[in-house]
Every structure is written in C-alpha cells, then in structure tokens.
C-alpha cells in the first residue's frame, strides 16, 4: 500500500520547517470541542505505556497518548508503524502486553471486545469486514447485536418484547442508513455495491449503536478524491450530531490536515510526534520518519 500523502507544497513547508527547527507542539484549540461535549470526563481515551509485541516484532512500544472528548484524532505513520495495532488494542481485539487504557475515565485494558462495544466503542476494519451476501440494512443492523436484550430462544418463540425490539433495531438502522445517504441501497446486497459505498456501509454499521468512541482504520483507503471528501464530510457530521470522539487512521495527508483536531504519529511502534496537524506536519522527526534518506519528497513515499 502506498503512503504517498505529501504534495509538493507540503514538502516545501516541511523543508522550511526542518531548516528553521520551529516546531509548535501546542494541542488543538479546545474551546469548540469543550462546548460540544457537555459534562463528563474531558478525555475519551488515555493510553499510558501501552506495548504489544508479536514474537520479536514490537508493534507498539510504550505508547502514551490522550484523546479529548469530541476530538477527531488522526493516527498516521509509515506502513507497519503500529497504527492498526493501536486500534486493535483499544477495541479489545488484542490485549496489550503492558500499559493501561482508560475509556471515558474507566480502565478497560482487560475488557473484552464484546464488552467494550457495550461501553460505547465501535470500529471499522482496514480490510472491509462486511457480510457480502446480506443487504445493507442487515449489515447495518448487525452493529446493534450487542445491544439486543432478547436471545435466540425468545426470538424463535416470539416472546413479548421481541417484536418491539426488532422494530426498534430496524428503525435505528434505517435512520443511520439515511444519515449516511445510503437509503437508495438499503435492500441491495453489500457485495454488489461499489467499494466506496461498502466503506460507507461499514461506517454506518459502526455508527448505528451510537458509540462514544469511533475507531476508523483507513476508512478512505482506495477511494477516489470525491469519495474521500464525502467520507470526510460524514465523519465530521457524525461528530457534530453525537457526543462522539473519533480516532482515525489515514494515509492521505490532505484528509488528515482537513479533518483532524489532533494528530499522533507512530513509527516502528513508537510515538514520534503528537500535536496539532500543522505542528505535526512541520515536525522534523515526522519528516525524517517519512522521508528517511531519500530525496523524493513530493513523489512516492510520504
Ligand atoms: N497479527 C499479527 N501477527 C504478527 N505480526 C503482526 C500482527 N499484526 C501486526 N503485526 C506486525 O506489527 C507491526 C505493526 O503492524 P500494524 O498492522 O499495526 O501497522 P500499520 O501501521 O497499521 O501498517 P499499515 O499502514 O501497513 O496498515 C508490523 O510489523 C506487523 O507486521
Ligand atoms: Mg494498518
């Protein structure tokens, strides 16, 4: 997968910053965010010293970071930097070897993925993980499975409450499908949709449960510029309509700059920068991580 996310103008800016060594590390303006999230913990997510290794490979090496409630925080870094691993430990798919994870003030690093979903964590996957043979509607409704009160027996026996619950699930799925502009495709099988729309269905499935923390692993990968900008609009709209915090992995620097309040940069499992989009883009450590010893800034590679 290419990580060509630096255009020529950005490269000029990076070179200038590298020369001047002026790196502003302040955190994003918080006034707007604070106004939108109401009361409760200020941080949606706090990681302290989180490490994860696969055999001899250190995917995450002592990662500490904070994500404020209501923020859109992008995680960037070269291929293999540990970005997906970070989302995998936060969503409970992998257990960290060391370190602590706090979600909205609760320690969750020993909590399983299914329980984390009930606590308000939703995610999408780098490689689509949809049910291709099911309709858009059913795929989106599957994002509510952990919220069901009725079990398979009450469903089969048609016990009281089951029908009402099914109706609520259908209504909530329909609302989310509408919110993401997918109403015309509700009955279509997901496998028959173009790739860009499938990515949007995955976002719908994550949003349907009204999560507090949305983890998006390359939601715009493989999309056209128009599709990316539509997707960025939906992520922004989702944040605006809910008390939602977003952690987003993305390679396209244009998208990252336009969408993020806060950017964290990983390289070889370590955090090498953390700050506003502008500060991170101008950070010499980030430039070195992407450019390495090559001269090809503005072409392939960053
Ligand atoms: N399940 C796994 N088993 C073994 N090694 C893994 C596994 N998952 C990740 N790794 C390794 O951990 C490191 C970090 O991988 P990760 O997928 O988190 O990177 P990434 O930043 O998401 O990369 P990309 O941009 O290519 O998606 C890599 O060296 C990868 O090979
Ligand atoms: Mg990845």
- pLDDT tens across 32-75, in order? 333 444 567 899 999 999 999 999 899 999 999 999 999 999 99
The answer to whether 222 touches 255, Cβ cutoff 8 Å, is no
User: What is the atom index within ligand 1 of the atom nearest the CA of 1?
Assistant: 26
Q: How far is the CA of 89 from the centre of ligand 1 (A)?
A: 12
**How far, in Å, from the CA of 27 to the mean position of ligand 1?**
28
**Measured from the CA of 3, which atom of ligand 1 is nearest?**
25
**Model confidence at 258: pLDDT above 70:** yes
66's enclosing H/E stretch is strand 57-68
The CATH homologous superfamily of the domain defined by 8-40+70-91+119-291: P-loop containing nucleotide triphosphate hydrolases (3.40.50.300)
For CA atoms 5, 302, 44, 37, give the dihedral sign: negative
Q: Is 56 near ligand 1, meaning CB less than 6 Å away?
A: no
Nearest atom (ligand 1) to Cα of 78: 25
The Cα–Cα gap between 257 and 286 comes to 14
Tell me what the mean pLDDT of segment 15-30 comes to. 36
Nearest to 27 by CA among 260, 258, 211: 260
> How confident is the model at residue 151, as a pLDDT?
63
What pLDDT is recorded for position 50?
Answer: 98
- Ligand 1 atom nearest residue 251's Cα: 25
What is the SS3 assignment for 287? helix
Q: Which helix (H) or strand (E) holds 264?
A: strand 262-267
pLDDT at 27 over 60: no
Is the beta carbon of 84 within 6 A of some atom in ligand 1? yes
**C-alpha 123 – ligand 2 centre gap (Å):** 13
pLDDT tens, 125-150?
988 888 888 999 999 999 887 766 65
Q: Are 68 and 44 in contact (CB under 8 A)?
A: yes
How is 39-54 classified by DSSP, letter by letter?
A: SS-SEEEEEEEEEEEE
Three-class secondary structure assignment of 92-159:
CCCCCCEEEEEECCEECCCCCHHHHHHCCEEECCCCCCCCCCCEHHHHHHHHHHHHCCCCHHHHHHCC
When pLDDT is cut at 50, 70 and 90, the band that residue 171 belongs to is: very high
Q: Would you give the distance in Å from CA 227 to the centre of its chain?
A: 17
pTM for the model stands at: 0.82
174-201 per-position pLDDT tens digit: 999 999 999 999 999 999 999 999 999 9
- Domains of the chain by residue range: 8-40+70-91+119-291
Q: Which structure tokens are listed for 259?
A: 């969408």
Q: What is the mean pLDDT of residues 6-22?
A: 36
SS3 256: helix
pLDDT of 41: 83
How far is 211 from 91, CA to CA, in rounded Å? 12
- Answer yes or no: is pLDDT of 274 > 70: yes
50 Cα: distance to centroid of ligand 2 (angstroms): 17
The span from the first CA to the last CA of the chain, in angstroms, equals: 12
């Amino acid at each position: 997968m290419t990580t060509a996310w630096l255009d020529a103008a950005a490269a000029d800016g990076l070179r200038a910053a590298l020369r001047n060594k002026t790196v502003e590390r302040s955190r994003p303006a918080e006034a707007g965010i604070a106004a939108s999230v109401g009361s409760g913990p200020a941080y949606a997510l706090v990681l302290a010293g989180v490490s994860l290794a696969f055999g001899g490979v250190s995917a995450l090496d002592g990662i500490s970071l904070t994500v404020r409630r209501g923020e859109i925080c992008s995680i960037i870094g070269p291929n293999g930097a540990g970005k997906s691993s970070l989302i995998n430990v936060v969503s409970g798919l992998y257990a960290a070897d060391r370190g602590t994870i706090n979600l909205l003030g609760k320690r969750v690093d020993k909590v399983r993925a299914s329980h984390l979903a009930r606590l308000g964590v939703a995610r999408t996957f780098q490689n689509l993980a949809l049910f291709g043979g099911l309709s858009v509607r059913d795929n989106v409704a599957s994002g509510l499975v952990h919220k069901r009160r009725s079990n398979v027996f009450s469903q089969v026996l048609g016990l009281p409450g089951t029908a009402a619950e099914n109706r609520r699930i259908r209504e909530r799925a329909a609302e989310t499908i509408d919110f993401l502009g997918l109403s015309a495709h509700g009955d279509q099988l997901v496998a028959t949709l173009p790739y860009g729309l499938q990515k949007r269905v995955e976002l719908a499935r994550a949003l349907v449960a009204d999560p507090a923390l949305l983890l998006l692993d390359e939601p715009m990968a493989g999309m056209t510029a128009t599709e990316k900008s539509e997707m960025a609009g939906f992520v922004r709209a989702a944040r605006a309509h809910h008390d939602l915090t977003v952690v987003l992995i993305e390679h396209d620097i244009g998208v990252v700059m336009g969408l993020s309040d806060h950017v964290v940069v990983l390289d070889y499992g370590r955090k090498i920068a953390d700050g506003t989009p502008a500060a991170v883009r101008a950070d010499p450590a980030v430039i070195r991580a992407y450019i390495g010893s090559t001269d090809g800034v503005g072409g392939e590679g960053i």
